[in-house]
Structure 1
Amino acid sequence: MSEAVMAGAEAFAFDGGKTGVLLVHGFTGSPQSMRYLGERLGERGYSILGPRLPGHGVSPAAMAKTTANDWVNCAEDALLELSAKCDKTFVAGLSMGGTLSLYLAASHPDKVAGVIPINAAVQIDSPDLAGLAYARGLPEFVPGIGSDMVDTSTKELAYDQVPVTCVKQVMGLAATARALLPRIKCPTLVINSRVDHVLSPANATVIANHVGSSRIETLWLDNSYHVATIDNDKDLIAAEIDSFVTRNL
């Protein structure tokens, strides 16, 4: 019998017009980190889909049984579902969700009208994480990375432990997305916090410098850390994504 999804971590969808926005959450997180953004964009008339990636929003043990293939397949299925009922579909994602968004834009140019990576990972310059990828004799779990926010009154619904077996999966996914950046030809809005304690903000520069699109914009956030979609800049993010989508319809 499968484990129950944590309260608040459920996938979400809001029916709207013929323009869709797919919202993908991050590594060890849940759709909770994207729901506020989804609600604000839904109010603006977009059709919204926020999938829950396999193994997420349940337990670290459940996540340990999943791979990057599972996460990619879920994101692709969500893109196919949303694009089937929309004339144009944009994809935004936080952290690993941003990585998946870039992967989708590179792999499905016919279905992604624009991509918005938010504090996304295309290179994980962490010796500590890299040391976990292939080493022997490691514990099953290490301390989590959730709730990196300026606004300490809000908490991200994320695991307090990271399955070690998933570390190599996310590092491989980031490297794959990095190599695929030149294939991204759609309009791209790179959103990144100036201060991020989980991923280096240098990722934003790498993305902006290597995507193959001729329309690249960068928005730097001054009042949020890693989980920016529910931090102090959450309304700015919603407004800027709305503006970006409108400009590229």
Structure 2
Amino acid sequence: MTKYPIIEGAEPFYFEGNEIGILVSHGFTGTTHSVKPLGEAYHKAGYTVCGPRLKGHGTHYEDMETSTYQEWIQSVEEGYAWLKERCHTIFVVGLSMGGTLTLYMAENHPEIKGIVSINAAIDIPALNPQAFEADPHTRFLDSAGSDVKKENADEIGYDKTPVASLKELYKLLGIVKNDLPKITCPTLIFVSTEDHVVPPLNSTYITENISSAEKKAITLENSYHVATLDNDQQIIIDESLKFFKDYQ
């Protein structure tokens, strides 16, 4: 099997700071590039930050084709373990499928202090793998592209999506959706009003089905799916920093 190098700009990032840790996860077919501005802002505010590269991401879509949802979870778990060695308090933040993984972490680690989801996914009908199973010869689909409203702010990611990976994604979405009531920690939910990848109703469903007593949804009026690189980036940074301060 071909070994592909990591794409420049898609490397994992680790920033040492104080004893409060922030785990930041990128999304499906994406890279750490999409969430690094958040990581840098959190570190500037004093926090210890980890942005893991999900298995099969940031190299080549043929790498992704052979990775599983369990390996994506493991990538985040490894980042969490890195933070636990250094921090007494940990928050988790995620974009898109990174938001899904953030929800997964809260479902399985009740000690997490709080979570921030950004256009998180639990159901994406347009990407349901059943729609592509009729043609067994289809291995890759064209990716939706960088869904960013801001000019010249493209996300580093794959231009193809493996059908095998869609099947893995849907396994993860089903598990996380079923376990949403397990989430009890404070939760901040960002949702773009116009998102061409994950329907905004995903965030509505998440808000209504988690068990957290303290939860807040913030609408992003001037960004598409990759809001972390879009016009509302500063709103996400400012509001999440306020959230960490309120609940640390």
Which residue in 1 is equivalent to 2:53? 52
Opposite residue 35 of structure 1, the aligned amino acid is: K
Counterpart Cα distance in 1 of 2:172 and 2:125: 14
1:124-159 Cα distance to aligned partner (Å, 9 max, x none): 222765412x44423211001231011121110010
Deviations 1:153-205 (A, max 9, x none): 11100100001111111111111111111001100001110110001000111
Look up the match of 1:84: 85
Q: Is the 8 A contact 2:127 2:166 kept in 1?
A: no
Equivalence for 1:141:
140
After superposition, where does 1:156-175 map in structure 2 within 5 Å? Answer: 156-175=155-174
Deviation at 1:18, TM superposition (A): 0.8
Asked if 1:68 is matched to 2:62, the reply is: no
* Residues 232, 85 of structure 1: alpha-carbon distance in 2 compared, 3 angstrom cutoff: same
- What's the secondary structure of 2:35's corresponding residue? helix
SS in 2 for 1:126: helix
Q: Unaligned stretches of 5+ in structure 1?
A: none
Please list, as runs of the form range in 1=range in 2, the aligned pairs for 1:1-249 lying within 5 A after superposition.
2-110=3-111, 112-126=112-126, 129-132=129-132, 134-249=133-248
Q: Distance in 2 between matches of 1:235 and 1:13?
A: 21
Instruction: Supply the distance in 1 between the matched residues of 2:65 and 2:211 (Cα, whole angstroms).
Output: 34
Shift in Å, 1:40: 0.9
In structure 2, what is the Cα distance between the partners aligned to 1:43 and 1:160?
32
- Aligned equivalents of 1:177 and 1:152: distance in 2? 33
Please list every run of 5 or more consecutive structure 2 residues that lacks an aligned counterpart in the other structure.
none
SS in 1 for 2:164: helix
Kindly, what percent of the aligned residue pairs are identical?
38
In structure 2, relative to structure 1, the CA distance for the partners of 1:136 and 1:217 (3 Å cut) is same
Distance 1:201 1:164 in 2: 23
TM-score (norm: length of structure 1): 0.96
Displacement, 1:2? 2.5
Q: 1:127 to 1:99 in 2, by over 3 A?
A: closer
TM-score, structure 2 length as denominator?
Answer: 0.96
Distance 2:243 2:147 in 1: 26
Runs of 4+ that moved beyond 2 A:
125-130
Can you list the C-alpha shifts for 1:9-56, whole angstroms capped at 9, x where unaligned? Answer: 000011111111100000000000011111111110011100000110
RMSD: 1.2
